[in-house]
Amino acid sequence: MDSQLKPRILFTRDEIEAVVKRLAAEVSQDYQGKCPLLLGILKGSFVFMADLIRLLDFPLEVEFVKVSSYGRGRESSGKAKLVKGFSSPVKDRDVLIVEDILDTGLTTSVVSDYLREKKPASLKLCALTDKPSRRRIPVTADYLGFTLPDKFIVGYGLDWNQKFRNLPDICYLE
């Protein structure tokens, strides 16, 4: 592993906090009075999920799925499959996917396909970050935090070979 890789801050913890607050306000407007199922995609979304749900003051449930994307480091192979599902009922529920980053769109499209088969009442996507220049499958977030340049980011739950998830800021590696 490249031990010389240095994380440089792209978005500070204060900027992240402000954006998560804004997203929570948008989500609250749409789901107030409902009891949505928030579905995080492991592992990267766990920090974002933890901060987001604590700003939502209505009943909700949380589940996680895991998608393997066959690849280490920066590049995925272009294939993805669901490797951990969940047992909570989805039929007729309002489901909100919570994702750390939209890159090619493959991961979220695998999760959306899995959910649509279960016939949710509604299905939306909340993504903390988006790299639109990298998209291969047309996916758009209903709630979006930051738009990113084409840089590999770490921190705030996101990893490089399983490291750097604990950085409180969103960083890129140089």
Interface positions, 26-55, toward ligand 5GP (CB under 6 A)? 41, 44
103 binds, among Mg ion, ligand 5GP, none (CB under 5 to 8 A by kind): ligand 5GP
The answer to whether 44 contacts Mg ion (rule: CB under 5 A) is yes
97 binds, among ligand 5GP, Mg ion, none (CB under 5 to 8 A by kind): none
Please pick, from the candidates 24, 90, 95, 103, the single residue that binds ligand 5GP as defined by CB under 6 A: 103
Euclidean distance between CA atoms 36 and 92, whole angstroms: 10
Among 97, 131, 96, 100, which residue's Cα sits nearest to residue 16?
Answer: 100
Shortest CB 26 distance to ligand 5GP, Å: 21
What is the phi/psi pair of residue 10, to 5°? -105, -45
The answer to whether 100 contacts ligand 5GP (rule: CB under 6 A) is yes
The answer to whether 112 contacts ligand 5GP (rule: CB under 6 A) is no
Phi-psi map region of 155: left, alpha, beta (phi>0 left; psi -120 to 50 alpha): left
Token duo for residue 18: 């402000």
The helix/strand/coil state of 82 is strand
The answer to whether 145 contacts Mg ion (rule: CB under 5 A) is no
Identity at 26, one-letter amino acid code: E
Give me the catalytic one of 51, 94, 103, 130.
103
Does the annotation count 130 as an active-site position? no
Number of H helices and number of E strands within the chain? 3, 9
The answer to whether 106 contacts ligand 5GP (rule: CB under 6 A) is yes
Question: DSSP secondary-structure letter at 150?
Answer: S
Among 59, 52, 15, 17, which residue's Cα sits nearest to residue 36?
Answer: 59
Please pick, from the candidates 34, 152, 168, 169, the single residue that binds ligand 5GP as defined by CB under 6 A: 152
Token duo for residue 161: 């070979």
Q: How big is the site for ligand 5GP, counted in residues (CB under 6 A)?
A: 19
The answer to whether 130 contacts ligand 5GP (rule: CB under 6 A) is no
Residues engaged in binding ligand 5GP (CB under 6 A): 41, 44, 69, 76, 80, 99-107, 152-154, 158-159
State the catalytic residues.
103
